[in-house]
Chain A
Amino acid sequence: MLRNITLNHITKIEGHAKLDLAIDNGKVTTCHLSATEGARYFEGLVKNRKFYEAHEMTSRICGICSCGHVVAAVQAIEDALGFQPSAQTFRLRELLTLGERIRSHATHLYFLALPDYLGYESALAMAPTYKAELMKALGLMKIGNAIVKLLGARDLHPVSATPGGWLHLPSTGELRAVAKELEKAKKDAIATCSLFASLTHPDFDSPSEWFSLKHESEYAMLRGDFHSPRVVFECHKLHDFVREYHEDYSTANFVVVKGGRQYMLGALPRLNNNASQLSKDAKAMVKKVRLRLPSSNPYHQNLAQAIELIHAIDHAHDICSALEVTDEKPPKLSPKAGHGIAAVEVPRGTLWHEYTLDADGMITYANIITPTAQNLLSMQEDIKRVLPSILGKKKEDIVMDVEKLIRAYDPCFSCSAHFLEVNWDEH
């Protein structure tokens, strides 16, 4: 018996994607997960633009990761120019990225993932029964947004970060006020962990290798090497270990590491690789909720995000309560020819920006690899792997299980609709 299942518009994810499944006599013969976003060609748009314009344009790739794109672009440009930012600049970039992580995780956990577990069609439909939970979500989103707005001047697509430093600085007093708010938000992050730990996560073992940045002195976010438990890659050698390829059914690329292996990025891989560097309370929470690390179950991404909420709040609090802001003006950077790469841990995993500049500071080449593009193969293969065990179920329950798995990865298909040079074979 042949069954075809097509999910044309997968809901409650960022961007647009579809899934085509064909099952023949209990065997999965087709499983295509594809981005159906229109093409935007950002890497082509920044060509022939000035080095200091890249971040403002590429942040438009994604709303929910716009801070990550700005920081990655700015750091890649600085790398190309051979510039080292000051310690304060770096700390504030961390804070901007943490603000984004807090609001992104809170939005994903409560608005996109939780309704699946509680059997509601949306978070809004949960409102009458679960108002207290939603208020926690909105409170966490609010503190994340407040951090982004304070540093970046806007809620989305922040503008104050620039190659060299910051065009506008928060005052020390403003940071201390945020620290107070973070203290209040902490209990909501802890409650979020308890909530997600109380949910039943389906058992599943993904063969994907988990990758994240890793740095000797911190829970890596803006610097470090690209790690899995088996290998370490130096970020500058990106093209030696990552290969992109294209399938005609999608506007997103698939990405594999050397040897053609699928890999997974995001909160869970970060915990798997770097749990020993979490904040004290986040570490205690891992123990309390009995999350056994490393975990190869992608359904644990949700719980991992909840734990990262605690860590992000603690880390942001450390910065906001200790940093004495000095009035540093960004230096005027002189254009010069160069090539730069930056990798940044954004909510969904490792984001890569790469630029080549000519002697006038014009961008001659740009390449951006987003976390969702890198997770795509892993997601698709995991769906293929989970299907045989759930084929006995009703179609709507199969769809629900598959959607739950996709959402656990927290995909962002707006981001992943990204393009590269492809030699197209007609066949």
Chain B
Amino acid sequence: MIKETTRKKGRADANPSKAKPLIGVFGITGCAGCQLSIIFNEDDILDLIDLVDLRAFPFIKEVNPEEHFDICIIEGLVADKGDLERIKKLRGNSKMVVSLGACACTGCVPAYRQFTLKENYEHLLYQKMEEIQDVKPTPIDAHIKVDYYIPGCPPDKKQILAFIKGAVAGRIPKPYDSPVCIECRQNGNACLLDVGKPCLGPITAGGCDAVCINGGFECWGCRGPTKDMHLDLMIDILRAKGFDDRFIQDRMRTFVGLKLPMLEKVMKKTSEVNVTFKGMPAQRGLP
């Protein structure tokens, strides 16, 4: 029989031990999806709290002391003054700061605002309290040092777990830097570029098991560009498929625009050279 009580009792760490690393999970402006991804590890979440001291996680915990964290995991992007103050404070209190998910790593869709016309959203602006005054929408590393990135919108929930377990054991997983196409081919998917869809898989870091393409949907690049991407070739392929420059630019900037500062220049350069890929029929890319 379950007893109700009004007194708070119990901490997350039922068996506190000094050896357990102190972990904090925080969200700034975002959709809470990355934090949900942590608890959606249904088979493992209860074991995780035996492994670490989950000291702060305001999304699911009432008591959240902001102590010195060994690992501080932050979801969301910096969109207002409160976010900025918060991450600076957390950085000061943490040995290691981890950007969790696309907002924290690249600014994700909200940072696409930096590339849209002000007239698109200025009618939505209004005066706000001091603490929620807007700042330019930016990923966390635009303001503080970030030690590790878990990319994706949302990140693979198992990778979050693998990172925490690895960090506890002193073996932090290496970032995945091969394009999405590798896993996509392994999964036996037909190439979406071949059927005229604007897939950004070739320039996007994988590690996601190409989930979107498995589901029939083209890659929008949420995990960020690979280090040695061929942006010029990607642009040419998309042009050859019949996509106009504005569409290509908007699509590439939706999730990771701030990580593609060279985009405009490359687009200009490639349009001058005017490379065309033979054998690729130009098609309108409607789904």
CB contact between A414 and one of B32, B129, B134, B216 (< 8 Å): that residue: B32
| CB neighbors of B among A90-118 (8 A) | 103, 107, 111-112, 115, 117-118
Give the complex CA separation of A122 and B83 in angstroms.
Answer: 24
Could you list 6 examples of A-B contacts with CB < 8 Å?
A15-B32, A43-B121, A62-B31, A154-B215, A159-B212, A330-B287
Q: Which residue of A117, A155, A330 contacts B157 across the interface (Cβ within 8 Å)? A: A155
| Least Cβ–Cβ distance between B218 and chain A, in angstroms | 9
Cross-chain contact A125 with B11 (CB below 8 angstroms): yes
Residues of A within 8 A of B83 (CB): 38
Cα distance A155–B80 in the bound complex, in angstroms: 28
Given A159-B212, A162-B287, the answer on whether A124 and B12 have CB atoms closer than 8 Å is yes
Residue pair B46, A131 in contact (C-beta under 8 Å): yes
Determine the residue in chain A with the shortest Cβ distance to B115.
Answer: A45
B77 to chain A, nearest CB (A): 8
A121-B120 CB under 8 A given contacts A38-B134, A157-B33, A159-B215: no
Residue B278 at the A interface, CB < 8 A? no
Is A12 interfacial (CB 8 A cutoff)? yes
Residue of B nearest to A246 (CB): B126
CB proximity to A under 8 Å, residues B93-137: 108-110, 112-113, 116-117, 120-129, 131-132, 134-135, 137
A66-B31, A421-B123 given; A153·B6 CB < 8 A: no
Question: A57 and B36: CB pair below 8 A?
Answer: no
A321 close to chain B: CB less than 8 A = no
Q: Shortest CB–CB separation between residue B202 and chain A, in angstroms?
A: 18
B7 touches A122 (CB 8 A): no
Residue numbers of A with Cβ under 8 A of B are 9, 11-16, 36-45, 47-50, 52-53, 56-57, 60-64, 66, 103, 107, 111-112, 115, 117-131, 133-134, 138-139, 141-142, 145, 152-160, 162-164, 166-168, 195, 198-200, 246, 248-249, 251, 330, 332-333, 397, 400, 412, 414, 417, 419-422, 424
Given A48-B116, A127-B46, A141-B42, check contact A122 B12 (CB 8 Å).
yes
B214 to nearest A CB, angstroms? Answer: 6
Q: Does B260 contact A (CB under 8 A)?
A: no
B63 within 8 A of A: yes
> A120 and B32 in contact (CB under 8 A), knowing A12-B59, A249-B129?
no
Q: Across the two chains, which residue of chain B brings its CB closest to A134? A: B46
Choose among B4, B57, B117, B247 the residue that contacts A199 (Cβ–Cβ < 8 A): B4
Known: A39-B134, A45-B121. A424 touches B10 (CB 8 A): no
Contact residues of B between 37 and 74, Cβ < 8 Å to A = 37, 39-40, 42-43, 45-46, 49, 54, 57-64
User: Is residue B3 within 8 Å, beta carbon to beta carbon, of the partner chain?
Assistant: yes
- Given A118-B2, A124-B49, A168:B286 Cβ within 8 A: no
Q: Which residues of B contact A (CB under 8 A)?
A: 1-12, 14, 27-37, 39-40, 42-43, 45-46, 49, 54, 57-64, 77-80, 82-83, 108-110, 112-113, 116-117, 120-129, 131-132, 134-135, 137, 153-154, 157, 211-212, 214-217, 220, 247, 250-251, 254, 286-287
Closest Cβ–Cβ distance, residue A150 to chain B (whole Å): 10
Kindly name the residue among A127, A142, A198 whose own CB sees the greatest number of chain B CB atoms within 10 A.
Answer: A127
In the bound complex, how far is the Cα of B28 from the Cα of A191, in angstroms? 35
CB of B126 within 8 A of CB of A419, answer yes
User: Which of B46, B49, B216, B220 is close to A153, meaning CB atoms less than 8 Å apart?
Assistant: B216
Residues B58 and A11 in contact, CB atoms below 8 Å apart: yes
Is the Cβ of B8 less than 8 Å from the Cβ of A156? Answer: no
Of the candidates A48, A118, A168, A417, the one whose C-beta lies within 8 Å of that of B215 is A168
Closest B residue to A119 by CB, please name it.
B5
A230 to B189, CA, bound (A): 53
A249 CA to B82 CA, complexed, in Å:
14
Residues of A within 8 A of B112 (CB): 45
Q: Tell which of B8, B28, B57 touches A120, judged by Cβ atoms closer than 8 Å.
A: B8
B-chain residues with CB within 8 Å of residue A122 when the two chains form the complex: 12, 57, 60-63
CA distance A130 to B231 in the complex (A): 53
Contact check, B36 vs A126: say whether CB atoms are below 8 A apart.
Answer: no
Complex CA distance for A124 and B153, rounded to whole angstroms: 26
- How far does the alpha carbon of A55 sit from the alpha carbon of B187 in the complex, in Å? 25
Q: Which of A16, A56, A120, A128 contacts B27 (CB 8 A)?
A: A16
